[in-house]
A and B are shown apart, each in its own frame.
Chain A
Amino acid sequence: MNVLRAVLWKDLLSEWRSRDRLPAMLVFALLTVVVLRFSQPGASLAGNPPGAPGLLWVAYVFAAVLGMNRAFALELENEALAGLALVPVDRGWIFLGKAAANLLLLALAQVTTGLFFEILFDVDLLSVAAPFLGVALLGAVGLTAAGTLFAGISVRTRYREVMLPLLLFPLLVPLLVGAVQATAGLLGEGRAGPAALQLLAVYDGVFLIASFLLFEYVLDE
């Protein structure tokens, strides 16, 4: 638990001092929203357009991948990753610390992007703000649980920035199905369907446990 807190604190502190990940994630997510707006031309989208939840999650996933690509890149310099691997604790806790830092950054990006999306796409997220934040958080947990594990892999392959989305996207689909359905439910009927929430929760649980256990072999110097 202490390791989790230490790694989380270290990541947030270095992010605060360098400010290189969050601004990039934010700008990229906003840019994606603007570009996606062009995919739905037409005068009016009023009344929660049907494709909107999917587009919002596309922007979230892009921001998340951009941020997580950098999560381990810093550690490669000065062999800091080897240092982390030498810490005599269960490496699962290091994973959780890393994932928590990614989660926090992603959550910040999600809130900002959501507000921006609300204006550009004329959807009514604010009236369901509290349950939507819950859905967004559930989605973000799954995204960072799977993404942090694969970022640890992709950072040490050739073409590292290319590898993360290639590994991550196919395995994200169940999560995105749940997240998009839940968001669509919130926008349409004001509540998320239980099946979608269940899917999100199961995905989060499965990938948190799997990544906790498998990270041992990813961070193995």
Chain B
Amino acid sequence: MGFLLLALTALAGFVILRAPADVVQGVLYKILFVHAPAAFAAYLGFLLTALGGALYLWRNDEKWDRLDVASAEVGLVFCTLNIVTGPIWAKAAWGKPWVWDPRLVVTALLWVTYLAYGLLRSFSEPGARAARFAAVYGIAGVLLIPLNYFAIDLFGGRAQHPENLQRGSLGVGIAGPFLAGTLAMLVAFLYLLMLRLEIQGLRVRRDRVDHENAPEDPA
């Protein structure tokens, strides 16, 4: 998996370097090949969070809770990457790192939501109850995504962001690098997710061992 990721990253880096420069922006636009795929990876992470939560509530199996924790955290990492690369580009292209745009605010909102998710995890007593609470919140959080898309229509404001997922909006010679960037990013997501799952598994085992070796409660 690690080697695959390395190879894909190299490939993506190569084709992105070879991609034609934009007439207006020059090479500046190429941050798109990181920015948009990071958003896809973040969405995937938050969808997996809700899925893991739902499966945990349904099956009551601890392994789904591990997916719940891991995907929320890794999703937050990619959401951060997305939210950091955006203003870097915007500062140069728009002259300002942040302007009013529904999608910017929605992304910031998602970011805050999953920060709160992390806080909820750390503020509740570890165990089945924390897992249940987090699962409930993860499911409620994912409801936010379609509702937010609906909210965007209220402002009618698509001016700052291009239409999403419309192949036609990608210019000549850009689709290939975009695809390579997305692929590399998704593999990176899966790789980090696997590592995080492994860590969580080890943590659960450590807690179990600690629990077994704990001295008898005198009370």
Query: Interface of A with B (CB < 8 Å)?
Result: 146, 149-150, 153, 156-159, 163, 166-167, 170-171, 173-174, 177-178, 181, 193, 195-196, 199, 202-203, 206-207, 210, 214, 217-218, 220
Tell me, yes or no, whether B112 is within 8 Å of chain A by CB.
Answer: yes
Distance of A52 Cα from B127 Cα, bound (Å): 45
Give the residue name and chain of the A residue nearest to B112 (CB). A170
- Judging by beta carbons under 8 Å apart, are A153 and B135 in contact? no
Give the residues in chain B near A210, CB-CB below 8 Å.
139-140, 143
Give the residues in chain A near B116, CB-CB below 8 Å.
166-167, 170
Tell me, yes or no, whether B84 is within 8 Å of chain A by CB.
Answer: no
Q: A197 to chain B: closest CB distance in Å? A: 11
Q: B143 to chain A: closest CB distance in Å? A: 6
The listed residue with most A CB atoms (<10 A of its CB), out of B119, B137, B147, is B147
Tell me, yes or no, whether B123 is within 8 Å of chain A by CB.
Answer: yes
Q: A127 to chain B: closest CB distance in Å? A: 24
- Judging by beta carbons under 8 Å apart, are A166 and B147 in contact? no
Give the residues in chain A near B160, CB-CB below 8 Å.
none
Instruction: Please report whether the interface of chain B is mostly helix, strand, loop or mixed according to DSSP.
Output: helix
The listed residue with most B CB atoms (<10 A of its CB), out of A146, A157, A193, A203, is A157
Give the residues in chain A near B123, CB-CB below 8 Å.
157-159, 163
Give the residues in chain A near B139, CB-CB below 8 Å.
210, 214
Interface residues of B in 133-171 (CB under 8 A from A): 133, 135-137, 139-141, 143-144, 147-148, 150-151, 153-154
- Judging by beta carbons under 8 Å apart, are B109 and A153 in contact? no
B119, B125, B147: the one within 8 Å of A202 (CB): B147
Give the residues in chain B near A163, CB-CB below 8 Å.
119-120, 123
Give the residues in chain A near B57, CB-CB below 8 Å.
214, 217
A171, A174, A217, A218: the one within 8 Å of B150 (CB): A174
Give the residues in chain A near B144, CB-CB below 8 Å.
170-171, 173-174
Give the residues in chain B near A159, CB-CB below 8 Å.
123
Q: B104 to chain A: closest CB distance in Å? A: 13
Tell me, yes or no, whether B132 is within 8 Å of chain A by CB.
Answer: yes
Q: B79 to chain A: closest CB distance in Å? A: 13
- Judging by beta carbons under 8 Å apart, are A149 and B124 in contact? no
Q: A141 to chain B: closest CB distance in Å? A: 15
Q: A68 to chain B: closest CB distance in Å? A: 15
B113, B120, B143, B153: the one within 8 Å of A153 (CB): B120
- Judging by beta carbons under 8 Å apart, are A156 and B153 in contact? no
Tell me, yes or no, whether B129 is within 8 Å of chain A by CB.
Answer: yes
Distance of A167 Cα from B139 Cα, bound (Å): 13
**9 sampled A-B residue pairs with Cβ under 8 A:** A153-B136, A156-B124, A156-B133, A157-B120, A157-B123, A166-B120, A167-B137, A171-B140, A178-B151
Distance of A156 Cα from B139 Cα, bound (Å): 19
